[in-house]
Structure 1
Amino acid sequence: MMMNLQNLHSRAVRLTSLCFSASSAPLTLQDVASPHPKGIAKVVLKKGKTQLFKDGNPMVYSGAVDRIIGRPPPKTGDVVVVADGMEKCIGWGVYNSVSMFCVRLMQLEDEVSGDRSCAFNVEKLLEKRIEASVELRRNLGMPSVSTNAYRLINSEGDRLSGLVVDIFGDVAVIASSAAWVEKYKLEIESCTRKVYGVNHVIWRPSFEILKEEGLDVSELKDVQPSSRLERTKVVENGIAYAISLDGQKTGFYADQRENRCFISTISHGKRVLDLCCYSGGFSLNAAKGAALEVTGVDTSLPALELARENVGLNRLDPDKITFLRKDITEFMKDAVSRNETWDIVILDPPKLAPSRKVLKSAMGMYRNLNSLAMRVTKRGGLLMTCSCSGAMTQSGMFPRIIQGAASSAGRRATILRQAGAACDHPIDPAYPEGEYLSNVLLRVS
């Protein structure tokens, strides 16, 4: 094993030396890859399919590939060169023989010519990209005394497609949704442990997505630790939260941070209803904003237990904030039958459209939920409605669904504010599919 690693390292050194020999002119990826070393295949794109990827989209889908040059053919996790129809190199990435995304581009030609150190070197690239993400969050003020829960790596937004890292105090939760991420698990964990303040690292594979990546999910489950840190405490905008690291997603929704903070600024003296409240994020912010009373509704008992614990952590008046375990549809129907309304309603349902295939049916669910939410919003009151479904957000249909819901409810809705995920969830404009969260504030009359 040691000899194999030494051979691989020696080959990488020879490759880098070959690719970046001294020259008066900047070296291109073509110089690096031609003649490409034995074992590094070339994925050639179809004519007319190149510009999307030259512009920065990292997800090379199988339908864009014309042929693969190289023997033996590349295996999942192998580094490959990506070339246009004339076999001119445009970048390099990591190959997947099963996924609909057969290459995830890591670097483009101009990046290689500008920085020779990371060419064909995933480990080195990981170090540089994670260091860059740490610096970006530092420039955004994270972590701070008032906020130590934030996203460190946001997949394509941080140029590491398939990798998400959330920081919760001294805990880093790594969410894996790509085969290459699993292959470089040890290297990713090592880089994450170097982040200042991180003392614990938890690995959370997205099993359903990884199954589509061609991985044996049963094997992944077998290697997960049987015992690990299950809970921790964080602070966000000065509000303390106990969070379950076995909970939904990575355990906490840092993406709504700025929207939760906004709720605290408009809740003074208001009756607030928080639907799908999870561990109480919007509810706690409303209470901190001096709401007259707050009601949170969710079906998850563990989430509600956390929410009640968080009331105590923040020394809030338990008589002014109530959490109920109920289905939100039934709760709203009951409220409508009693003609009960609230000054501010927050509707933040789970992902109803996990893919474009189910978008049409999900539209009906979003319309029905929003129609009910408008009917329990006081006339002249405010409704903050959300969708965390990327398929919905990217379709551009959410405002139209809101209008349909208003018509169905016999209400008129006016959009006051539109927002997405917090600033520590960057989006690469070359990959707009990374945008998923819609948060819309409405006046309902």
Structure 2
Amino acid sequence: MLQIQFSARIVKSFSSLSALPSSTVAFSTLQELAANHKGLAKVILKKGKTQLFKDGSPMVYSGAVDRIIGRPPPITGDVVLVSDGSEKPIGWGLYNSTSMFCVRLMQLEDEAIRDASCALDVEKLLERRLDDALKLRRSLGLPSADTNAYRLVNSEGDRLSGLIVDVFGDIAVVASSAAWVEKYRPAVESSIGRINAISHINWRPSIDILKEEGLNVSNLKNFKACSHLEKVKVIENGIFYTVSLEGQKTGFYADQRENRCLIHSISKGLRVLDVCCYSGGFALNAAAGGADDVIGIDSSLPALELAKENAQLNNFDPGRVSFLKEDAVEFMKKAVSQNEMWDLVILDPPKLAPRRKVLQSASGMYRSLNSLAMQITKRGGLLMTCSCSGAMTQSGLFLRTLQGAATMAGRKITVLRHAGAACDHPIDPSYPEGAYLTNYLLRVL
């Protein structure tokens, strides 16, 4: 009798299993899982190219593709399988028929099998990756009582290639630089909107990059998803800022947060110059750290207006903190001619090498700028110098360029600190192209 009851339970259990959703059924290969998704195209890799992507590189370049199997052929934004030369899938991703990035890999096979609920499902994967990104920032103490401006999603570093999300208080600013992000905009906004602290989403497509992605940018929706908001106030390391939602990039450079904090800690009693100051981040930290005199210069009037507004917001004495509309080169040349020097100089120019092909000419510009900056730094003083050009950072040439600048200036430099972006800007080591910011603190002799 016991045997019969036990057998009946087994039969009932199997009956229940058959009624479960397919995501709970175990699959041993991605090929088996994909069998439930009819019409998926396969992108077949060339011989010898597979290992690169098995090792985690998320960007399948068109030159790595041997052929594409699918009728009808896939179109931009479609989910596709990525397979080795024997047509065995190694993962899945999102296809682009125009871009040099033929596929952005979203999951490799082992992860897809381990978590089949997200496999081949962009919307569910978006939710999972955003949850993971949010948990990471919480573990880093973001947001906090003294910092509510931070990066929530850092493209490949958070395994969502082409998507950047910065959070400023209760506003999420989305920087879209991939065709798939535009296609799945409603899903992206929905996933972000589920975060309790977010009340508004500002959508900012990266027009130049999206052109290269093959999009007709004239058809893009207006990026002002919260158009009634032009500015928002945030706090970072205890300093208040007004962020222009129409400003550069996403409106605020959260990547320099930890470098600004260092300036705060070393500025007491110093005379400080912030070159290319934008909205005053380094200058304000120097003032908050007890600098005797701080000057910020920039050629952009809107940036300077923000910087001045931020100084007032923090009740800094205008006699101690001032901002001037000046060309960086001309200002520094004039200071050299007048033998005017500062204890601490910060040089954070705009991106000078947007492409590797202009790296040589950009290196010359970086060398000249830094040579001038070193000449107006007191002997024994400090220079914090930055490059936000990915091509420069990835080339490893920046320090050599700085050494060349020192020779040109007749100075000697020593490196006190080498840093990159803040820790809420993770980088995938299998995609080193994600590293773009280099920051050196130098002693100038």
Same fold by TM-score, threshold 0.5 exceeded? yes
Task: Report the alpha carbon displacement of residue 315 of structure 1 after superposing the two structures with TM.
Answer: 1.1
Distance 1:36 1:47, change over 3 A: farther
Residue in structure 2 matched with residue 163 of structure 1 by the alignment: 163
- Deviations, residues 143-192 of structure 1 (Å, cap 9, x unaligned): 01000000000000000000000000011100000000000001101111
Residue in structure 2 matched with residue 371 of structure 1 by the alignment: 371
The alignment partner of 1:331 has SS state of: helix
The alignment partner of 1:379 has SS state of: strand
Residue in structure 1 matched with residue 13 of structure 2 by the alignment: none
Residue in structure 2 matched with residue 32 of structure 1 by the alignment: 33
Further displaced range: 190-199 or 290-299? 190-199
1:30 partner amino acid = Q
Q: Which whole-Å CA distance do the structure 1 matches of 2:127 and 2:21 have between them?
A: 20
Q: Does 1:423 align with 2:423?
A: yes
2:168 partner amino acid = F
Q: Which whole-Å CA distance do the structure 2 matches of 1:123 and 1:363 have between them?
A: 42
2:237 partner amino acid = N
- Contact persistence 2:43–2:67 (CA under 8 A): yes
In the TM superposition, 1:97-176 aligns within 5 A as 97-176=97-176
1:317 partner amino acid = D
- Deviations, residues 356-395 of structure 1 (Å, cap 9, x unaligned): 1111110100000000000010011000000000000000
Residue in structure 1 matched with residue 272 of structure 2 by the alignment: 272
Q: Which whole-Å CA distance do the structure 2 matches of 1:40 and 1:247 have between them?
A: 41
Residue in structure 2 matched with residue 228 of structure 1 by the alignment: 228
In the TM superposition, 1:44-63 aligns within 5 A as 44-63=44-63
In the TM superposition, 1:192-207 aligns within 5 A as 192-207=192-207
1:360 partner amino acid = Q
Residue in structure 1 matched with residue 401 of structure 2 by the alignment: 401
Distance 1:224 1:238, change over 3 A: closer
Q: Which whole-Å CA distance do the structure 2 matches of 1:424 and 1:222 have between them?
A: 28
Further displaced range: 309-318 or 247-256? 309-318
The alignment partner of 1:218 has SS state of: helix
Residue in structure 2 matched with residue 74 of structure 1 by the alignment: 74
Task: Report the alpha carbon displacement of residue 88 of structure 1 after superposing the two structures with TM.
Answer: 1.1
Residue in structure 2 matched with residue 9 of structure 1 by the alignment: none
Residue in structure 1 matched with residue 310 of structure 2 by the alignment: 310
- Deviations, residues 87-143 of structure 1 (Å, cap 9, x unaligned): 111000000000000100000011011101011100000000001101100000000
Q: Which whole-Å CA distance do the structure 2 matches of 1:374 and 1:267 have between them?
A: 18
1:27 partner amino acid = S
1:379 partner amino acid = R
Further displaced range: 36-45 or 64-73? 36-45
Q: Which whole-Å CA distance do the structure 2 matches of 1:295 and 1:146 have between them?
A: 25
2:32 partner amino acid = D
In the TM superposition, 1:240-279 aligns within 5 A as 240-279=240-279
Q: Which whole-Å CA distance do the structure 2 matches of 1:361 and 1:31 have between them?
A: 52
Q: Which whole-Å CA distance do the structure 1 matches of 2:224 and 2:253 have between them?
A: 23
1:201 partner amino acid = I
Q: Which whole-Å CA distance do the structure 1 matches of 2:224 and 2:333 have between them?
A: 43
Distance 1:224 1:71, change over 3 A: farther
Q: Which whole-Å CA distance do the structure 2 matches of 1:297 and 1:157 have between them?
A: 33
The alignment partner of 1:92 has SS state of: strand
Q: Which whole-Å CA distance do the structure 1 matches of 2:82 and 2:329 have between them?
A: 50
Q: Which whole-Å CA distance do the structure 1 matches of 2:391 and 2:287 have between them?
A: 33
- Contact persistence 2:30–2:112 (CA under 8 A): yes
Task: Report the alpha carbon displacement of residue 30 of structure 1 after superposing the two structures with TM.
Answer: 2.8
Q: Which runs of 5+ in 2 are unaligned?
A: 1-17
Task: Report the alpha carbon displacement of residue 229 of structure 1 after superposing the two structures with TM.
Answer: 1.2
Q: Which whole-Å CA distance do the structure 2 matches of 1:279 and 1:37 have between them?
A: 50
2:332 partner amino acid = M
Q: Which whole-Å CA distance do the structure 2 matches of 1:227 and 1:325 have between them?
A: 29
Residue in structure 2 matched with residue 343 of structure 1 by the alignment: 343
Residue in structure 2 matched with residue 214 of structure 1 by the alignment: 214
Q: Which runs of 4+ in 1 moved over 3 A?
A: 20-23, 35-38, 221-228
Q: Which whole-Å CA distance do the structure 2 matches of 1:314 and 1:32 have between them?
A: 57
- Contact persistence 2:176–2:205 (CA under 8 A): yes
Further displaced range: 326-335 or 187-196? 187-196
Residue in structure 2 matched with residue 292 of structure 1 by the alignment: 292
Q: Which whole-Å CA distance do the structure 2 matches of 1:90 and 1:418 have between them?
A: 37
Distance 1:324 1:141, change over 3 A: same
Q: Does 1:354 align with 2:354?
A: yes
Task: Report the alpha carbon displacement of residue 245 of structure 1 after superposing the two structures with TM.
Answer: 0.5
The alignment partner of 1:117 has SS state of: coil
- Contact persistence 2:29–2:109 (CA under 8 A): yes
- Contact persistence 2:200–2:226 (CA under 8 A): no
Q: Which whole-Å CA distance do the structure 2 matches of 1:397 and 1:227 have between them?
A: 42
The alignment yields a C-alpha RMSD, in angstroms, of 1.6
Q: Which whole-Å CA distance do the structure 1 matches of 2:234 and 2:93 have between them?
A: 36
Q: Which whole-Å CA distance do the structure 1 matches of 2:303 and 2:223 have between them?
A: 27
Q: Which whole-Å CA distance do the structure 2 matches of 1:256 and 1:354 have between them?
A: 19
Distance 1:299 1:223, change over 3 A: closer
The alignment partner of 1:418 has SS state of: strand
Task: Report the alpha carbon displacement of residue 224 of structure 1 after superposing the two structures with TM.
Answer: 5.5
- Deviations, residues 55-107 of structure 1 (Å, cap 9, x unaligned): 11110000000000110000000000000111111000000000000100000
The alignment partner of 1:116 has SS state of: coil
Residue in structure 2 matched with residue 5 of structure 1 by the alignment: none
Q: Which whole-Å CA distance do the structure 2 matches of 1:208 and 1:391 have between them?
A: 17
Distance 1:325 1:421, change over 3 A: same
Task: Report the alpha carbon displacement of residue 327 of structure 1 after superposing the two structures with TM.
Answer: 0.3
Q: Which whole-Å CA distance do the structure 2 matches of 1:291 and 1:251 have between them?
A: 26
Q: Which runs of 5+ in 1 are unaligned?
A: 1-13
Residue in structure 1 matched with residue 64 of structure 2 by the alignment: 64
The alignment partner of 1:229 has SS state of: coil
Task: Report the alpha carbon displacement of residue 399 of structure 1 after superposing the two structures with TM.
Answer: 0.5
- Contact persistence 2:203–2:223 (CA under 8 A): no
Q: Which whole-Å CA distance do the structure 2 matches of 1:38 and 1:240 have between them?
A: 53
The alignment partner of 2:117 has SS state of: helix
2:427 partner amino acid = I
Distance 1:65 1:223, change over 3 A: same
| Residue identity (%) | 69
Residue in structure 1 matched with residue 437 of structure 2 by the alignment: 437
